[in-house]
Amino acid sequence: MRRLLVAGNWKMNGSVSMTDDLLSRLLDADVSACDVAVFPSFPYLSSARKQLNGSAMLLGAQNCAEEESGAYTGEVSATMLQDIGCHLCLVGHSERRTLYGEDNDTVLNKVQRLLNAGISPVVCIGETLSDRQSGQENAVVTRQLQQLLSELSEEQWQHITLAYEPVWAIGTGETATPDQAQGMHAFIRSLLHQVSEETAQKTRILYGGSVRAANAVELFAQPDIDGGLVGGASLDAAEFLEICCS
């Protein structure tokens, strides 16, 4: 049985006081029904780590460098994230792919860096609107996953979470219907059989793209949807908590 994970991707939002306030509200609530993770921006990770100490809430970063260390001004390595106590890191978010040119090779390199550092990657995949309109969604997602499926071992897959985020649903208010999302999640799970039966059964696949309190119950009720990667709605404590209890 896969346990639900609800992950809040704060993107480039927040401040010291906002991080403090949002986390205090989340920590005051009982969210033991599922796993909960927050992904603040780099400058707030250390203070978030201190605030979360002693709680079960997981801490994640939104990005990491492809390289191990050295002369890469402005980059943050997987080892540094491990050093400050991160458990998770997003990789291949569609905003990174479209705005910063991350391709599937970059994603594989980052995933390997993270795994070597003992951090669990949350790998984002998903098709654009034109991919879907031309019936290419399965082909696109297959391409995005192919190297990970062939290069990583079954043991490494135990530490990976996938997030299916149709690009047309991110930040648009337009959500995939539960049927559309379930169809794609089942397809992704079928691809995981290439690694092993157990990997297909155990890997969590989150849905992302305009998840709200109003649609989370129905989405999370689908058999192959194991929680959500929540952007905009994760900045509102009350709404995020309602999603966590869905």
Cβ contact 203:157 at 8 Å:
yes
Count of chain residues binding ligand PGA (CB under 6 A): 13
Helix, strand, or coil here: 8?
strand
d(CA 163, CA 40): 17
Which residues, numbered 170-209, are part of the site for ligand PGA (CB under 6 A)?
170-171, 208-209
174 is catalytic: no
Cβ contact 7:227 at 8 Å:
yes
State the nearest-atom distance from the C-beta of 230 to ligand PGA, in Å. Answer: 5
93 is catalytic: yes
Token pair for residue 214? 């109003």
Nearer to ligand PGA, 19 or 62 (CB): 62
Q: Taking CB under 6 A as the rule, which mask of x and - marks residues 4-33 in contact with ligand PGA? A: -----x------------------------
d(CA 228, CA 7): 6
Q: Which of 95, 127, 165, 239 is catalytic?
A: 165
CA 98 to chain CA mean position, Å: 17
Q: Does 162 bind ligand PGA (CB under 6 A)?
A: no
* Residues at the contact surface with ligand PGA, assessed by CB under 6 A: 9, 165, 170-171, 208-211, 229-233
Which are the catalytic amino acids?
93, 165
